[in-house]
Amino acid sequence: MRRISSGKRIELTARDIELFKLLYRYQYLRSNFLYAFLGGESETRFKERLGDLYHDGRYIRRPEQQWQFAYSRCMPIVYELDARGEQVLRDHGLLLHESRLLSKGRMGACRQFAHQLMICDSLASVELGIRHQPELRFISWQDILAKAPATTASSDNPFAIPVTISHTFPGGTRRAEIKAVPDALFGLEYTCGAEKLYRFFALEADRNTVPVKRTNLRQTSFLRKVLAYRQIVADNIHATYLGLPNLFVLTVTTNEKHMTNIMSLVKGLAVQGRSTLFLFKTMSSLGNYQRAPDPTPHILTGPWQRVGYEGLAINVA
């Protein structure tokens, strides 16, 4: 839970640099996820190396929030990049964007630890699933930012998407100008013969803590999220602001009933009660604080539910 140096001298390896790049991209990753990404002959030796980089190298740290979970000592340790590790990436020219907000929270939002960890578990599972499918390529938020319009890429929080939303409640229509910040943003490149196709996704991770509906459009709710994404696509903001040719919204929940309620909301707002924009999946393991989830590649390969349509496996073009 705290650093205890043994005086060991740390000489960085190419795999250590890859580790730092992963932690910069994700912010939080558990040791079992890191091993799934980086591999090696021995998982035990890999975890010992993480300990060396934490205790003696001080390149990575163990966020204190994880020790608040009752079963934290029985679960894989969560790591994040420390300032010294970030400096190594900077020295190697591997930091593509260093805005104040991105360096604090990667995607630019200040979130609760459990929520952010669920986002990282979900997105890392998608990327790990892609590694078993050579016809797919994972497109990270860094790749997206590198090709975004210059005005977006240079802003302090480039993933805070400006949009105006409105909704008719009993008593009248309300309107709000907001900044919609996805929990995560990524893309998939599909190789189909000589052709390459692309889909881009906003990921929303739901721990059953956000209400489905509120009458105040400036307060967080799924109504606000759904209205924002619908307007972003309708006004082509994903193209003009982020430079993306398309956008779909993946919602991962930990509770089946809550997912059903969100889908009912989408059905009530959608034309003829059908929508291809929003996709849903429940993964209760991501909300289990007694046992940490394993890397879950089937988050990619299993079908996502849609309102009014059959499920869609996003690993297929």
- What lies within 8 Å, CB to CB, of 35 at 6+ separation is 43, 46, 47
The 10s digit of each residue's pLDDT in 70-107 is: 777 888 999 999 999 999 999 999 886 654 444 444 44
Percentage, residues of the chain above pLDDT 70: 94
Closest to 258 (Cα-Cα) out of 296, 204, 209, 293: 209
- What lies within 8 Å, CB to CB, of 258 at 6+ separation is 206, 208, 212
> Which pLDDT value is given to residue 293?
79
Instruction: Compute the chain's Rg from CA coordinates.
Output: 20
Query: Has residue 312 got a pLDDT over 60?
Result: yes
Are 96 and 90 in contact by the 8 Å Cβ rule? The answer is: no
> Which pLDDT value is given to residue 108?
43
What distance lies between CA 129 and its chain's CA centroid?
14
Angle between helices 113-130 and 14-26 (to 10 degrees): 120
* pTM for the predicted model, two decimal places: 0.91
Closest to 23 (Cα-Cα) out of 51, 61, 52: 61
Quickly count: other Cβ atoms within 10 Å of residue 295's Cβ. 19
The 10s digit of each residue's pLDDT in 215-266 is: 999 999 999 999 999 999 999 999 999 999 999 999 999 989 999 999 999 9
Query: Has residue 181 got a pLDDT over 70?
Result: yes
Which tokens in the block code for residue 234?
Answer: 């309708």
The 10s digit of each residue's pLDDT in 124-139 is: 999 999 988 989 999 9
Confidence of residue 43 (pLDDT cuts 50, 70, 90): very high
Question: What average pLDDT does this structure show over 62-74?
Answer: 84
Query: Has residue 35 got a pLDDT over 60?
Result: yes
Query: Has residue 110 got a pLDDT over 50?
Result: no
The 10s digit of each residue's pLDDT in 143-152 is: 999 999 999 9
- What lies within 8 Å, CB to CB, of 159 at 6+ separation is 107, 108, 109, 141, 181, 182, 185
Distances (CA, A) of 213 to 184, 218, 266: 22, 12, 11
CA distance 186 to 200: 6
> Which pLDDT value is given to residue 109?
42
Scanning 27-105, the segments in alpha helix (DSSP H) are 31-38, 43-55, 83-91, 100-105
Question: What average pLDDT does this structure show over 59-64?
Answer: 94
Report which DSSP code applies to 10: P
E strand or H helix that includes residue 150: helix 150-153
Closest to 60 (Cα-Cα) out of 72, 70, 52, 48: 52
- What lies within 8 Å, CB to CB, of 287 at 6+ separation is 118, 207, 208, 254, 255
Question: What average pLDDT does this structure show over 175-204?
Answer: 95
- What lies within 8 Å, CB to CB, of 172 at 6+ separation is none
Largest CA distance in the chain: 69
Are 308 and 294 in contact by the 8 Å Cβ rule? The answer is: no
Report which DSSP code applies to 31: H
Go through the domains of the chain in sequence order and give each one's CATH number: 1-95 (1.10.10), 110-317 (no CATH)
Percentage, residues of the chain above pLDDT 90: 74
Closest to 27 (Cα-Cα) out of 73, 93, 79, 98: 79
Phi, psi of 33 (to 5 degrees): -70, -40
The 10s digit of each residue's pLDDT in 9-21 is: 999 999 999 999 9
CA distance 112 to 33: 20
* DSSP string for residues in 54-121: HHTS-SEE--GGGGGSTTGGGSPPEEEE-HHHHHHHHHTT--S---HHHHHHSSS----HHHHHHHHH
Are 212 and 261 in contact by the 8 Å Cβ rule? The answer is: yes
Confidence of residue 287 (pLDDT cuts 50, 70, 90): low
The mean pLDDT of the chain is 90
Confidence of residue 111 (pLDDT cuts 50, 70, 90): low
